Amino acid sequence: MNKITRRKLIRGGVAATAGVAGLGAADRIAKRYGLIPPDRGGVYGPGETLTYACQRLLTVNRPAREFPRSMISKNPFANSIAKPTDEFKQLQAGGFRDWRLVVDGTVAHPLVLSLADLKNLPVRGQITEVACEEGWSYVAEWIGTPLSNVLREAGVLPQTRYVVYHAFEKGLWGSIDIEDAWDEHTLLTMGMNDGDLPVPFGGPLRLRVPRQLGYKSLKFVTHITATDDIKKFGKGLGSVDPEYGYSWYAGI
């Protein structure tokens, strides 16, 4: 057993001071570059922040994996959805002609778009994998217009840091950071494989976020809000998922 010498004490003190100063600097840098997730509180905050910060830095300008057409799953699995309400059934009976996407928040021109309006924007397809947090996955082709087109159309303001999206069912909502929102693969999806996006898969409109797990790809999207302050939404955790114990960021 070694005795605590003066040299050891000084060395330890310097190391501790440097450590605290380093953490302080890291915190400032992380805040400045948006590397801290909204659900940073609690015992799981440090792990969540490390994961989000590292993956945010790693994925800058790195698109989601795409697959050849031959790898499209023959029997994709649509996870269970809530029983459609009468209001939804009515819209479905009308071929979703009256489905509207509201775009508001920190934008120069708030918009109300029909599916036809969305289809008039540049449309693209992508063959990406849906991976559920439970472990299963499938590959499909998703067709729609990148969210970035809608943000550009609405004139999203420079202070915007998050894009919040709401589902038809009240209380179901999520958000992504501005980096993911501008990603060309973040797709307002209206078609799947050879046809319209089926209702069990989120039709008529699903926001695909392929660099994150399936639960970030919200089904039945009706409303998009750009914001500079995510704390204003729900309990301030970035989406409804942390309120049920699931992390806001789902890149892993």
Partner 1 sequence: MVRATHWLTFVAFIALLVTGGEIVISHPRFYWGEVGNVNTKPFFVVPIPASRDTVPTGYGYVMPDQNGWSRYLHFEAAWVAVLTGLVYGIYGVASGHFRKNVLPGRRDWSWRAYGGRVAQYLRRKPPDRAEETSYNVLQRAAYTVVIFVLFPVVIWTGLAMSPAFTAAFPWTVELLGGRQSARTIHFIDSGLLLLFLLVHVAMVAVSGFRSRMRAMITGYGRDSICDSEEGR
Residues in 24-43 at the binding interface with partner 1, rule: CB under 8 A? 43
- Per CB under 8 A, 48 contacts partner 1: yes
Binds partner 1 (CB under 8 A): choice among 212, 225, 227, 239: 212
> Do 139 and 71 contact (CB within 8 A), yes or no?
yes
Minimum distance, C-beta of residue 138 to partner 1, in the bound complex (Å)? 5
How many residues of this chain interact with partner 1, rule: CB under 8 A? 42
From residue 134 to residue 173, what is the string marking binding to partner 1 with x (rule CB under 8 A)? xxxxxx----------------------------------
Bridge partners (DSSP) listed for residue 208:
187
Minimum distance, C-beta of residue 102 to partner 1, in the bound complex (Å)? 28
Residues in 76-135 at the binding interface with partner 1, rule: CB under 8 A? 76-77, 79-80, 129, 131-135
Binds partner 1 (CB under 8 A): choice among 15, 71, 112, 157: 71
- Per CB under 8 A, 67 contacts partner 1: yes
Beta strands, E only, the chain: 100-105, 111-114, 124-131, 137-146, 162-167, 173-177, 187-192, 195-196, 206-208, 221-227
- Per CB under 8 A, 23 contacts partner 1: no
Q: Nearest-CA neighbor of 179 among 222, 142, 212? A: 212
Ordered DSSP codes for 11-68 = HHHHHHHHHHHHHHHHHHHHHHTT-S-TT--STTHHHHHHHHHHHHHHTTT-PPP---
- Nearer Cβ to partner 1, position 154 or 240? 240
